[in-house]
Amino acid sequence: MRSILFLLAVLCLSAVAVAAQDDDVIRVNTDLVVLNLAVTDKDGQYVKGLKVSDIKIYEDGVEVQPNMITSFALQESPYAAVVLLDSSGSMEARFSLARSAAIRFLDGLRPEDVAAVYRFDSKVERVQEFSGGRDLAPLAYAIRARGMTTLNDAVVEASKTLADRPEQRKAIVILSDGMDTYSKASSEKAVESALAVGASIYAVDMSSLEIAGTTRRQSAASLKGFAEKTGGRFIATPGGPALRDAFTGIASELGQQYTISYRPANTKRDGKWRTLEVKVQRPDLTVRTRKGYRAPKN
């Protein structure tokens, strides 16, 4: 009898754990795939004037037919962004610099854009709600860097926040040294959460040049992976003019992306991963966008 009761208790706890994980998954119930494309020339300048016929989309290696494309435009549509400030102990010497960078990003918002600000250390905490304001909330100036690093959890939380936003263009801007030490979520789950809401991740690596080579490479690889898989950008800079220029570039890119949407030929709602590749019919141009998406599931 005791064995049976113990088994029932374990099964109940397992069910609760699965339910909790399920509740933590961002579900996007849509059959329309929306991609934001950053197209640059060999000098890194953003390219305007492309037509839909210049773009080829491949899903799982199969070309998306032109009649399945529902919209294509280069327009200065508004975007919603979440800025994630790493306030963990490893950022103590650089947190003031990160906060100044966040202010610069907010200052670059256009009238129609909105941004929210979160800090993360041993927990993730909202510092500022979505707004078009150019000033950082007073709470941000009282933050002291301490504790562990929940980078993956912060990306998941930012994605949940962006899921409710009406803007088609969404971004997560990370200011961190990239060394996650305390998250419940994996880096894979963090990436999928961002992809589920169509958010590009712009990761600024603020790890000190004094950090040991192997450790710094690992932290940079984590941030770089976020950016590459979601179609954003990875920026390696300890600060200075390079950091200021980086934020000018991020704001500029968010305002000059092409948006293209299509209905996939594969209509199975099986929850499986679909790989994406986008090509431009001009060899001198480079396109960046997300690498895939997870199909809806019934």
Tell me the average pLDDT across 188-203.
Answer: 95
Which tens digits make up the pLDDT trace of 171-180? Answer: 999 999 888 9
Contacts of 138 (CB under 8 A, 6+ apart): none
Residues forming a β-bridge with 293? 274
Which tens digits make up the pLDDT trace of 58-115? Answer: 999 999 999 999 999 886 778 999 999 999 998 988 899 889 888 888 888 889 999 9
Terminal Cα-to-Cα distance of the chain (whole angstroms): 39
Domain ranges of the chain: 33-75+256-294, 79-254
Q: CATH for 79-254?
A: 3.40.50.410
Average pLDDT, the chain: 86
What residue type is assigned to position 128 of the chain? Q
Burial class of 54 by CB neighbour count within 10 A (0 to 12, 13 to 18, 19+): middle
Closest-CA residue to 222 (of 182, 179, 174)? 179
Tell me the average pLDDT across 236-252.
Answer: 76
